[in-house]
Amino acid sequence: MALKITVIGTGYLGATHAAAMAELGFEVLGLDIDPDKIALLQRGEVPMYEPGLEDLLRRHVAGIEGSSGRLRFTTSWEEVGAFGDVHFVCVNTPQKHGEYACDMSYVDAAFEALAPQLHGPALVVGKSTVPVGSAARLAERLAKLAPAGEQVELAWNPEFLREGFAVDDTLHPDRIVVGVASERAEELLREVYATPIAEGSPFVVADFPTAELVKTAANSFLATKISFINAMAEVCEAAGGDVVKLAEAIGHDERIGRKFLRAGIGFGGGCLPKDIRAFMARAGELGADQALTFLREVDSINMRRRGHMVELAREAVGGSFLGKVVTVLGATFKPDSDDVRDSPALNVAGQIHLQGGQVTVYDPKGMDNARRLFPTLNYAPTALEAVRGAHVVLHLTEWREFRELDPARLADVAAEPRILDGRNALDAELWRKAGWTYRALGRPNA
């Protein structure tokens, strides 16, 4: 009989995983402690913007016309415990307030609520990004709390999905990593992932600590790559070089590769910044802090980018923001997402506002979230409206919509046709031809 799957936590990760599991043919029950979120999902609506996710969900949510009916949602732990053969824990692990460490309270609460409901054989699979050592600790808690005792097992299966590509990354993962303590657990997970494995996704079997570390190591590497190219951008600016050319040239070396070498205002979002900090904090607890001191530098190069962008903008408007109108194009931490968590774009907008600038923000999808986080900024309904009267325009999130803008039309409404490209993504020639002064991070002024 086909496995029955539950997914605990229905954020970016959980909602996508639940819909993907239904797409793979399993009966799926999703749980969240937020009844509003559950009501929304039950109607086939997604609480965030993620391309393709709503379609996928609607194909499977029970009660929606034409759906497979394989996907349902609940707030009942009892129901989840009785339903599932495999339980995926997908709750979030944010940064703790006031410290670097990871806040494990949601993961811990999920295990404490789920375990007492497990009366028969079950595999609990952690997907959340956690400090190394958590799986071993949680396995002990499960053994203690689950009425079915040894019939309940734990596995760790980190998730590598990128926002904006979550559906594709989940259905066609570039690798599946599982930390297991038994062959039975491995076999069950091979069954769950049979389709992507048959398509050729590598299946890597490891122990608990290695599986946990794979995730933090991968994100640390990506963060390091971005900060590396941003450090090169700083040197390029000092030496009159062009970081975009430099990235292209070193990227031809296959060992280096071209991806994740886009210099700009740096990384943000709900993962990279907090994951490298939690990793440093955990290494400190383990007595291995020296091994990760370089991540402190990666973090500070990254944070410096935001300050540098503010400085360039201040310089562009003549040394002070007082009485100046500043347009910020982009609020989300990356395009194709409505996520503004630790967004470099909004951070820059906020700093300029605090320094007395009149900041107007426009973003294709992130306006509601941005408004909630920074209610004191101005928000315009279109890019054109946002640019009206601007003394300087900052391009801070590389949405396709911004690359497709007509610089000549914008020049007509701006007070000063001056643009700073914080993502090195606009066509400099096009903007210059339309009368703009174009400047980008890490590139010479033409």
Shortest Cβ 84–ligand UDX spacing (Å): 24
Shortest Cβ 319–ligand UDX spacing (Å): 28
Report if residue 179 touches ligand UDX, rule: CB under 6 A: no
Query: With respect to ligand UDX, which residue has the nearer C-beta, 224 or 360?
Result: 224
Using CB under 6 A, pick the residue from 262, 296, 304, 371 that binds ligand UDX. Answer: 262
Report if residue 162 touches ligand UDX, rule: CB under 6 A: yes
Query: With respect to ligand UDX, which residue has the nearer C-beta, 161 or 414?
Result: 161
Burial of 290 (0-12, 13-18, 19+ CB in 10 A): exposed
Backbone φ and ψ for 425, nearest 5 degrees, come out as: -125, -10
Closest CA to 333 of 292, 401, 385, 273: 273
Report if residue 268 touches ligand UDX, rule: CB under 6 A: yes
Report if residue 49 touches ligand UDX, rule: CB under 6 A: no
Query: With respect to ligand UDX, which residue has the nearer C-beta, 181 or 218?
Result: 218
Report if residue 219 touches ligand UDX, rule: CB under 6 A: yes
Report if residue 271 touches ligand UDX, rule: CB under 6 A: yes
Report if residue 348 touches ligand UDX, rule: CB under 6 A: no
Q: Mark the segment that binds ligand UDX (CB under 6 A) among 69-77, 102-110, 130-138, 261-269.
A: 261-269
Query: HEC states along the chain?
Result: CCCEEEEECCCHHHHHHHHHHHHCCCEEEEECCCHHHHHHHHCCCCCCCCCCHHHHHHHHECCCCCCCCCEEEECCHHHHHHHCCEEEECCCCCECCCCCCECCHHHHHHHHHHHHHCCCCEEEEECCCCCCCHHHHHHHHHHHHCCCHHHEEEEECCCCCCCCCHHHHHHCCCCEEEECCCHHHHHHHHHHCHHHHHHCCCEEEECHHHHHHHHHHHHHHHHHHHHHHHHHHHHHHHHCCCHHHHHHHHHCCCCCCCCCCCCCCCCCCCCHHHHHHHHHHHHHHCCCHHHHHHHHHHHHHHHHHHHHHHHHHHHHCCCCCCCCEEEEECCCCCCCCCCCCCCHHHHHHHHHHHCCCEEEEECCCCHHHHHHHCCCCEECCCHHHHHCCCCEEEECCCCHHHHCCCHHHHHHHCCCCEEEECCCCCCHHHHHHCCCEEEECCCCCC
Q: Which residues pair with 360 in a beta bridge?
A: 327, 378
Q: Which of 90, 102, 236, 271 is catalytic?
A: 271
Q: Mark the segment that binds ligand UDX (CB under 6 A) among 36-44, 71-79, 145-153, 264-272.
A: 264-272
Report if residue 334 touches ligand UDX, rule: CB under 6 A: yes
Shortest Cβ 330–ligand UDX spacing (Å): 10
Shortest Cβ 166–ligand UDX spacing (Å): 8
Query: With respect to ligand UDX, which residue has the nearer C-beta, 117 or 219?
Result: 219
Query: With respect to ligand UDX, which residue has the nearer C-beta, 145 or 218?
Result: 218
Report if residue 422 touches ligand UDX, rule: CB under 6 A: no
Shortest Cβ 333–ligand UDX spacing (Å): 4
Using CB under 6 A, pick the residue from 30, 131, 179, 264 that binds ligand UDX. Answer: 264
Shortest Cβ 338–ligand UDX spacing (Å): 12
Using CB under 6 A, pick the residue from 23, 32, 163, 242 that binds ligand UDX. Answer: 163
Report if residue 260 touches ligand UDX, rule: CB under 6 A: yes
By CB under 6 A, the count of residues binding ligand UDX is 20
Query: With respect to ligand UDX, which residue has the nearer C-beta, 241 or 251?
Result: 251
Closest CA to 363 of 355, 348, 352: 348
Distance CA 165, CA 124 (A): 26
Shortest Cβ 163–ligand UDX spacing (Å): 4
* 422 contacts: CB under 8 Å, gap ≥ 6: 264, 265, 309, 344, 345, 348, 394, 395, 396, 440, 441
Using CB under 6 A, pick the residue from 14, 81, 266, 350 that binds ligand UDX. Answer: 266
Query: With respect to ligand UDX, which residue has the nearer C-beta, 55 or 174?
Result: 174
Residues 222-241 touching ligand UDX, rule: CB under 6 A, are 222, 226
Burial of 382 (0-12, 13-18, 19+ CB in 10 A): exposed
Query: With respect to ligand UDX, which residue has the nearer C-beta, 100 or 160?
Result: 160
Report if residue 160 touches ligand UDX, rule: CB under 6 A: yes
Instruction: Examine the residue annotation and report whether 271 is marked as an active-site residue of this protein.
Output: yes
Using CB under 6 A, pick the residue from 9, 81, 269, 422 that binds ligand UDX. Answer: 269
Using CB under 6 A, pick the residue from 130, 272, 317, 331 that binds ligand UDX. Answer: 272
Report if residue 203 touches ligand UDX, rule: CB under 6 A: no
Catalytic residues: 271
What is the contact surface with ligand UDX in residues (CB under 6 A)?
Answer: 159-163, 219, 222, 226, 260-262, 264, 266-269, 271-272, 333-334
